[in-house]
Amino acid sequence: MMLKPTTINLDDSHVMAIVNLTPDSFYGASRHHSIDDARSTVERVVKEGATIVDIGGYSSRPGAPEVDTEEEWRRVQMGLEAVRRADCEVVVSIDTFRAEVVRRAHEEFGEFIVNDISAGEADGEMIATVAALNLPYVAMHMRGTPETMQSMTDYDDGVVAGVCNYLKHRAEELQRAGIAHKNIILDPGFGFAKSVAQNFELMRGMDALRELGYPLLIGVSRKSMIYKPLGITPEEALPGSLALAWEALRGGSAVLRVHDVAATKQIVELSKHYYR
C-alpha cells in the first residue's frame, strides 16, 4: 500500500505535525525510536487535526552532528512505514536534503512533499530529482550547515530583505530546473542562521515574504527564539509557540510546522473566525 496522494489546498491553513525518528532533536518529546511508537503518534496527531505529517531522520538543530545517508534512510523508512501502518488520511512530508533519500522513499512509498532545509543547495541532484518525480517541494532559507549556521547571521540589507531576495531567486531557479510554480512552498527558516532578534524581525516582515507569491511554511514551534528570551526550556515553550503561531497566521502562513497539534489546531480554527 502506497502513501496518500499529496493533493492539498494551500489556500487554507494547515497544521504539519513533526514526527522525528532521531535520537537528538532539540525537543525530546518529538523523538521516536520504533515503528509502533511513531505509528501511535501519527494516529494521534491526525485525530487532533494535522493534515500533514513531517518525517525527519536527520536532526537540524544548531550544532547537530552529521548523519550518513544510510542511517538517515533507515530512520525515514521506519517513519514512513509507521504512517503506512497507521492508514490515516494524511499527506506525508519528508524532512531531507538528500536526493537519494527522496528516490528510495518514492520507489517504496509513493508520493510525498519534500521538505529541504537547504533549498536544494546541499545535494546537487535534489532539484532534478524532485522535478522528475513531480513532487511538491519546500525550499527553506539557511546559510551554512546545522553545525555552522549560527556563525553566519550577518545580513547587509537586513534579515527580511536578505531572506526575501534569496527565496525569490531560488524559486525562480527551481522553476527553470523544472519544478512547477504550483509545487513550490517557501520557508524563511526561523532559527537557521538567524539571531533571536533577527527571528522576530523576520516575523514582523512576513508581509514581504507573502508578496513573493508562494505558500509559506512557518516553523517556530518551541524554538530558541521563544525559550531563550524567556529563560525557559523547550518543554516550557508551548504558550510562546501558540502566540507566534497566531502571528504566523496573521502574516499569511499556509502551513504551521509544530510539535503540538491539538493546541495549534485551536489557534487555526479561531483565526478563521477572526480574519473572515
Whether 50 maps to a domain, the answer reads: yes
The three cell numbers locating residue 198: 533577527
Whether 216 maps to a domain, the answer reads: yes
- Reported as a single tens digit per residue, the pLDDT across 50-106 is 999 999 998 776 656 678 899 999 999 999 999 999 988 899 999 999 999 999 999
Whether 7 maps to a domain, the answer reads: no
Whether 221 maps to a domain, the answer reads: yes
In the predicted model, is pLDDT for residue 273 greater than 90?
no
Whether 59 maps to a domain, the answer reads: yes
Cα distances (Å, whole numbers) of residue 2 to 62, 83, 84, 109, 255 = 34, 10, 7, 5, 24
Supply the range of the domain harboring residue 147.
14-275
The predicted model scores a pTM of 0.92
Contacts of 5 (CB under 8 A, 6+ apart): 91, 111
- Reported as a single tens digit per residue, the pLDDT across 154-163 is 898 899 999 9
Which residue type occupies 118? Answer: S
- Reported as a single tens digit per residue, the pLDDT across 188-239 is 999 999 999 999 999 999 999 999 999 999 999 999 999 999 999 999 999 9
Q: Of 194, 223, 228, 272, which is the active-site residue?
A: 223
* Section 235-253 average pLDDT: 96
User: What pLDDT, on the 0 to 100 scale, is given for residue 27?
Assistant: 43
User: What pLDDT, on the 0 to 100 scale, is given for residue 124?
Assistant: 95
Q: Nearest Cα to 225, choosing from 275, 188, 252, 265?
A: 188
User: What pLDDT, on the 0 to 100 scale, is given for residue 118?
Assistant: 95
Whether 4 maps to a domain, the answer reads: no
Contacts of 163 (CB under 8 A, 6+ apart): 141, 188, 189, 202, 209
In the predicted model, is pLDDT for residue 22 greater than 90?
no
How many domains is the chain built from?
1
Q: Are 32 and 19 in contact (CB under 8 A)?
A: yes
Q: Of 39, 75, 84, 257, which is the active-site residue?
A: 257
Whether 9 maps to a domain, the answer reads: no
Whether 6 maps to a domain, the answer reads: no
Q: Are 41 and 20 in contact (CB under 8 A)?
A: no
- Reported as a single tens digit per residue, the pLDDT across 43-58 is 999 999 999 999 999 8
Contacts of 36 (CB under 8 A, 6+ apart): 82
CATH of the domain at 29: 3.20.20.20
Q: Is 257 a catalytic residue?
A: yes
Can you give the three-state secondary structure of the chain, one letter per residue?
CCCCCCCCCCCCCEEEEEEECCCCCCCHHHECCCHHHHHHHHHHHHHHCCCEEEEECCCCCCCCCCCCHHHHHHHHHHHHHHHHHHCCCCEEEEECCCHHHHHHHHHHHCCCEEEECCCCCCCCCHHHHHHHHCCCEEEECCCCCCCCHHHCCCCCCCHHHHHHHHHHHHHHHHHHCCCCHHHEEEECCCCCCCCHHHHHHHHHCHHHHHCCCCCEEECCCCCHHHHHHHCCCHHHCHHHHHHHHHHHHHCCCCEEEECCHHHHHHHHHHHHHHHC
User: What pLDDT, on the 0 to 100 scale, is given for residue 33?
Assistant: 63
User: What pLDDT, on the 0 to 100 scale, is given for residue 143?
Assistant: 83
Which pairing describes strands 137-140 and 184-187: parallel, antiparallel, or unpaired? parallel
